[in-house]
């Protein structure tokens, strides 16, 4: 543990750590009360809902068909939450939030063991205010689970390397296994990469032969057997099932190879088109307001690697840098993949900030964060004017008032004031996003709006039908009180022979049915936009109407 002889941080953190941490926790919690976002969040919620309602924890199914893409753990967690709390957005997101919170706690413990209490507190403040972690607590997929599991496993294995504790060995192995059952075996690169880098630099070759690490691998293999059993039961026992357009698909092979290595080498059934610099520019917004400080911290850590770093420092750097390189080289890339590295990014950034003493570096941090502190409220004001939220003039006045306040609260030392103001502006940004932006744009999820309409206006509607090749609208399946079934067009007559049926279709498809001779009674129209991929045209209130597609609930009958 390093404890510098002087630092401006102790007094500031003693005063501000809790007052700053509590509102950040509330901002992250607020995402749990926002409705589920299409498409992935709604898809995963629907899979977990099916598990909860059928009691089948082995088979992953979508629209009654076998689904092979992600491992089981997040669906198990959400399904258990549904069984306890009922079917709701809150119940779906709560387990993920708890793992995110565990990630914050492990970030604190890891940083405290490496650097000390003050740096640990600063690491947590960075962690709870990093942009994409806040977003992921709203748009819940697998990443909040992974974030807590990966840093937790690394922390416990770090304790094993220091104290040889059997309890930490079991805990680290269990968390690593849960991470594998959430995303696949590639997470072991993040969990083990830092240790391997530390052993190589420290020339601790005996660690590669140390029996405790081989016991950890055996425990991980034991703990992932529930996942392997489920995959074997659903897929390997049934080679006749048609998955990814072919038969004879092994779920276990997909888990160990195609889902991870197959994506990395672009040889699996799910392909991508990677860009070597994708994550370099993704971090510029995903780790705001700390992204530029992170680049500076990592550059300094790499420069000092081998002669001025300590064991825990090298472990955090190795976990972050090796995984970042792996993600960048992968041919399949999505922004949220790097969320699992944010605890390590937070620790590295805090460790660097805490040890800044040169005036030129302090001045550079002040200027950099000052620009961010200025730009964030300007962008918020512009967004309010562009989108025109309900009561937007009042919202703009509130933003102006809150944007001025940190300049009165955080004075004195340039370094700590710059960090305090950046943190404040980040929270202000996330409050606007969670309290204004998401509630407004989610009104443009047609499936969710249609589900709400059915629940309030047609609760006994029977089955809702959709064309088989219609755009993904899993939210109607999650929020509707009625069963939703997709049909090929040639099955329409057989359904309508039994009487009128309610369809959820695009307006263009509704017009097509009318031209085909069907009687179409439009019950309600809903605007639709892919809100997880916002565009300037949609955000602009003047052009929004031209960017949306219209869906309808329509009662269809044979004339």
For residue 1, being part of any structural domain is answered with no
pLDDT in tens, 225-276: 999 999 999 998 988 888 877 888 888 988 888 777 656 655 555 555 666 7
What percent of the chain stands above pLDDT 90?
58
pLDDT in tens, 339-395: 999 999 999 999 999 988 888 999 999 999 999 999 999 999 999 999 999 889 999
Cα distance between residue 256 and residue 108, in whole Å: 32
446 close to 552: Cβ distance less than 8 angstroms:
no
pLDDT in tens, 268-304: 555 556 667 788 888 899 999 999 999 999 888 888 7
Polymer length in residues for the chain: 559
Whether residues 163 and 209 fall in one domain: yes
Cα distance between residue 91 and residue 229, in whole Å: 27
pLDDT in tens, 43-55: 999 999 999 999 9
Cα distance between residue 440 and residue 513, in whole Å: 32
Whether residues 127 and 146 fall in one domain: yes
Whether residues 530 and 505 fall in one domain: yes
For residue 502, being part of any structural domain is answered with yes
pLDDT in tens, 149-181: 999 999 999 999 888 788 999 999 999 999 999
65 close to 470: Cβ distance less than 8 angstroms:
no
pLDDT at 57 over 90: yes
Q: In the prediction, which pLDDT does 308 show?
A: 61
Whether residues 148 and 84 fall in one domain: yes
For residue 491, being part of any structural domain is answered with yes
Close Cβ partners of 369 (under 8 Å, ≥ 6 residues apart): 289, 293, 418, 419, 421, 422
Q: Which of 329, 354, 379 is the last residue of a domain?
A: 354
Close Cβ partners of 45 (under 8 Å, ≥ 6 residues apart): 36, 78, 89, 92, 474, 478
Nearest of 71, 133, 132 to residue 103 by alpha carbon:
133
Whether residues 323 and 364 fall in one domain: no
52 close to 455: Cβ distance less than 8 angstroms:
no
pLDDT in tens, 230-243: 999 999 898 888 88
183 close to 142: Cβ distance less than 8 angstroms:
yes
If one counts the domains in the chain, the total is 3
For residue 456, being part of any structural domain is answered with yes
Whether residues 433 and 522 fall in one domain: no
For residue 2, being part of any structural domain is answered with no
292 close to 367: Cβ distance less than 8 angstroms:
no
β-strand 463-467 against 501-506: which pairing, if any?
parallel
Q: Which residue has the tokens 């416990």?
A: 156
Q: Which of 417, 443, 469 is the last residue of a domain?
A: 443
Whether residues 190 and 78 fall in one domain: yes
For residue 4, being part of any structural domain is answered with no
Whether residues 44 and 142 fall in one domain: yes
Residue 66's domain spans which residues?
Answer: 9-354
Whether residues 322 and 277 fall in one domain: yes
Close Cβ partners of 458 (under 8 Å, ≥ 6 residues apart): 482, 502, 523
Lowest mean pLDDT among 330-339, 412-421, 423-432, 436-445: 330-339
Task: Sort 523 into a burial class: Cβ within 10 Å, 0-12 / 13-18 / 19+.
Answer: middle
- The structure tokens listed for 332 are 């399949």
Q: Residue range 188-197: average pLDDT? A: 90
* Burial annotation 301-330 (CB, 10 A radius, 16+ → b, else e): beeebeeebebbbbbbbbbbbbbbeebbeb
Whether residues 34 and 50 fall in one domain: yes
For residue 395, being part of any structural domain is answered with yes
Note the Cα 441 to chain centre separation in Å: 19
For residue 3, being part of any structural domain is answered with no
Q: In the prediction, which pLDDT does 369 show?
A: 94
Cα distance between residue 339 and residue 104, in whole Å: 13
pLDDT at 1 over 50: no
Whether residues 305 and 409 fall in one domain: no
Q: Which of 303, 331, 354 is the last residue of a domain?
A: 354
Cα distance between residue 89 and residue 302, in whole Å: 42
- The structure tokens listed for 280 are 């370099």
Cα distance between residue 304 and residue 301, in whole Å: 5
Q: What are the angstrom distances between the C-alpha of 478 and each of 39, 41, 57, 63?
A: 12, 10, 18, 11
Whether residues 80 and 186 fall in one domain: yes
């Amino acid at each position: 543990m390093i404890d510098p002889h002087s630092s401006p941080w102790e007094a500031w953190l003693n005063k501000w750590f809790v007052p700053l941490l509590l509102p950040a926790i509330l901002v992250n919690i607020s995402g749990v009360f926002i409705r589920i976002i299409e498409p992935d969040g709604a898809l995963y919620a629907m899979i977990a809902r099916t598990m909860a309602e059928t009691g089948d924890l082995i088979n992953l199914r979508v629209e009654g068909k076998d689904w092979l893409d992600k491992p089981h753990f997040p669906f198990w967690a959400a399904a258990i939450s549904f069984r306890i709390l009922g079917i709701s957005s809150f119940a779906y997101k709560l387990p993920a939030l708890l793992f995110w919170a565990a990630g914050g706690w492990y970030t604190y413990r890891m940083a405290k063991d490496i650097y000390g209490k003050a740096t640990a507190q600063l690491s947590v403040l960075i962690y709870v205010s990093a942009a994409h972690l806040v977003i992921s607590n709203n748009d819940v997929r697998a990443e909040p689970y992974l974030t807590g599991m990966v840093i937790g496993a690394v922390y416990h294995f770090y304790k094993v390397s220091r104290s040889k504790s059997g309890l930490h060995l079991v805990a680290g192995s269990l968390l690593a296994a849960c991470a594998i059952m959430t995303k696949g075996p590639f997470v072991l690169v993040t969990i083990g990469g830092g240790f391997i880098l530390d052993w190589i630099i420290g020339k601790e070759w005996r660690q590669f032969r140390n029996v405790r690490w081989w016991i950890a691998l055996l425990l991980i293999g034991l703990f992932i057997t529930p996942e392997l059993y489920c995959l074997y039961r659903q897929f390997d026992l049934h080679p006749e099932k048609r998955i990814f357009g072919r038969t004879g698909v092994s779920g276990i092979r997909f888990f160990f190879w195609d889902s991870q290595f197959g994506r990395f080498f672009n040889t699996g059934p799910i392909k991508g088109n990677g860009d070597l610099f994708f994550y370099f520019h993704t971090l510029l917004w995903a780790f705001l307001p700390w992204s530029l400080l992170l680049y500076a911290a990592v550059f300094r850590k790499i420069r000092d690697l081998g002669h001025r770093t300590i064991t825990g420092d090298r472990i955090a750097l190795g976990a972050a840098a090796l995984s970042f390189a792996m993600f960048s080289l992968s041919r399949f890339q999505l922004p949220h993949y790097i969320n699992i590295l944010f605890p390590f990014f937070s620790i590295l950034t805090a460790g660097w900030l805490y040890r800044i003493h040169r005036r030129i570096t302090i001045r550079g941090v002040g200027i950099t964060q000052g620009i961010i502190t200025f730009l964030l409220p300007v962008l918020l004001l512009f967004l309010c004017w562009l989108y025109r939220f309900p009561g937007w003039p009042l919202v703009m006045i509130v933003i102006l008032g809150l944007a001025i306040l940190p300049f009165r609260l955080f004075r004195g030392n340039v370094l700590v004031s710059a960090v305090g103001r950046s943190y404040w502006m980040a929270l202000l940004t996330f409050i606007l996003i969670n309290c204004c932006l998401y509630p407004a744009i989610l009104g443009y999820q047609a499936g969710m709006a249609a589900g709400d309409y059915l629940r309030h206006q047609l609760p006994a509607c029977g089955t809702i039908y959709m064309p088989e090749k219609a755009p993904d609208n899993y939210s109607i399946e999650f929020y509707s009180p009625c069963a939703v079934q997709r049909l090929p067009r040639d099955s329409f007559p057989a359904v309508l022979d039994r009487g009128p049926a309610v369809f959820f279709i695009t307006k263009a498809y509704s017009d097509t049915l009318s031209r085909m001779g069907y009687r179409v009674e439009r019950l309600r129209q809903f605007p639709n936009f892919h809100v997880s991929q916002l565009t300037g045209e949609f955000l602009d209130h003047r052009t929004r109407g031209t960017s949306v597609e219209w869906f309808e609930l329509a009662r269809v009958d044979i004339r």
